[in-house]
């Protein structure tokens, strides 16, 4: 057995850890943001390396809808959701408004802080109108929990002229941590969902966490690497690595107790180097609020720009040198160098 798993098993078996169930997670929350189902809570256009290898614009619409029924330990997306079922036609109106307000982009992400296939969040009666609105695009990307991938997804794909891509949270294949994330998903559930999508020529994007709770820095990098390789081995075409952040209440509480720390900047660099070195598919590292991970004002902007260029170009670029990096840092192999 891997010694990292042995070490973490002891950590996760500590008797003073709380039971991280729905009730505990909900009890740690602060207030929601003020949102309205009349408008998406955000919308933007940004470049991304597309499946064809070209850098192309992607319009992302952050739909306002009912909160996801799954209470994942690390999720903060509930902050921009409502507590009631989304009214019919509200989502299609949001999408129509956002697309009219944004410059044209060939690819569209319809992200809804949960699962597009959740009828409480996205009423199925809105699907035909949504399909009309995106008919002139090349790709439509939606989010879903793996447990909701079934005939509903195939039905929506059949309505679309663009190709459908489904983004799902794999999070980590760490056998001791995944059950503690309250995701209510096993790796077998994930594999079943991927197989169904791939068998029907629906592209899959996996979200992978870098340094979950109950992992130290070395373990966080090790299991993120293993998770990327696992995803590619299943036939997934794209992996998006998200550095785990506090701010949702639950992770703040775990951080106070020494059971969670966000990853270091060196691990963000190492995981993208590793993923691109595989050459098996696109790998992105999420750079939202990336400044929070880089402490050195001398090299911070250059290092973030390097990661941004690597996201776009999908190739490893030379590291940025700085006196702040004199100490050994994690390497793509998960060890220090």
Does the pLDDT at position 330 exceed 80?
no
pLDDT of residue 108: 98
* 225 has pLDDT over 70: yes
Region 35-59: what's the mean pLDDT?
A: 98
pLDDT of residue 4: 56
Judge contact between 314 and 272, C-beta under 8 A: no
**pLDDT tens readout for residues 148-174:** 999 999 999 999 999 999 999 999 999
Q: What CA–CA distance (Å, rounded) separates 194 from 237?
A: 11
Q: Which residue has the higher pLDDT, 199 or 327?
A: 199
Q: What is the pLDDT of residue 336?
A: 30
Task: Place 16 in a pLDDT band, splitting at 50, 70 and 90.
Answer: low
Phi, psi (rounded to 5 degrees) for 57: -75, 145
State the pLDDT at residue 72: 98
CA of 279: how far to CAs of 178, 213, 282, 319, in Å? 26, 29, 8, 19
Picking from 255, 256, 254, 225, the residue whose alpha carbon sits closest to that of residue 241 is 225
pTM: 0.92
Token duo for residue 229: 């390789």
The separation between CA 154 and the C-alpha centre of its own chain, rounded to angstroms, equals: 22
Portion of the chain with pLDDT greater than 90, in percent: 90
The pLDDT value given to residue 24? 96
Tell me how far apart the terminal alpha carbons of the chain are, to the nearest angstrom.
24
Residues near 30 by beta carbon (within 8 Å), at least 6 away in sequence: 249
Phi and psi (nearest 5°) for 15?
-70, -20
The pLDDT confidence band at residue 19, using thresholds 50, 70 and 90, is: confident
Could you give the domains of the chain? 37-251 (3.20.20.70)
Average pLDDT, integer, range 240-259? 97
Q: Hunting for tokens 């670029």 — which residue is that?
A: 317
* Confidence at residue 8, expressed as pLDDT on a 0 to 100 scale: 52
Per DSSP, the residues of 213-243 read TT--HHHHHHHHHHHHHHHHHTT--EEEEEE
SS3 297: coil
pLDDT (0 to 100) of residue 17: 66
The answer on pLDDT for 14 being more than 90 is no
């Amino acid at each position: 057995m891997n010694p990292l798993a042995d070490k973490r098993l002891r950590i996760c078996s500590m008797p003073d850890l709380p039971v991280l169930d729905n009730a505990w997670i909900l009890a740690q929350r602060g207030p929601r943001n003020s949102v309205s189902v009349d408008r998406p809570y955000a919308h933007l256009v940004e470049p991304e390396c597309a499946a064809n290898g070209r850098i192309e614009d992607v319009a992302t619409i952050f739909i306002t809808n009912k909160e996801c029924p799954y209470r994942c330990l690390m999720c903060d997306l509930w902050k921009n959701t409502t507590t009631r079922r989304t009214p019919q036609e509200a989502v299609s109106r949001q999408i129509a408004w956002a697309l009219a307000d944004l410059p044209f982009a060939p690819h569209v992400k319809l992200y809804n802080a949960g699962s597009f296939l959740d009828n409480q969040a996205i009423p199925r009666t809105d699907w035909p109108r949504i399909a009309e609105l995106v008919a002139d695009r090349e790709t439509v990307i939606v989010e879903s929990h793996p447990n909701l991938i079934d005939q509903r997804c195939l039905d929506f794909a059949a309505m679309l002229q663009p190709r459908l891509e489904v983004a799902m949270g794999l999070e980590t294949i760490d056998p001791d941590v995944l059950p503690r994330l309250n995701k209510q998903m096993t790796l077998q559930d994930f594999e079943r969902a991927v197989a169904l999508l791939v068998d029907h020529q629906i592209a899959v994007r996996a979200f992978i966490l870098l340094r979950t709770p109950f992992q130290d820095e070395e373990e966080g990098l090790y299991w993120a690497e293993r998770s990327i390789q696992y995803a590619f081995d299943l036939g997934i075409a794209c992996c998006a690595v998200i550095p785990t952040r506090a701010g949702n209440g639950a992770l703040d509480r775990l951080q106070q107790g020494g059971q969670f720390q966000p990853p270091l900047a060196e691990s963000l660099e190492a995981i993208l180097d590793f993923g691109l070195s595989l050459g098996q598919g696109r790998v992105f590292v999420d750079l939202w609020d990336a400044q929070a991970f880089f402490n050195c004002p001398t090299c911070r902007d250059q290092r973030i720009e390097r990661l941004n260029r690597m996201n776009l170009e999908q190739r490893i670029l030379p590291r940025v040198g700085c006196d702040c990096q004199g100490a050994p840092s994690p390497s793509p192999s998960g060890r220090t160098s």
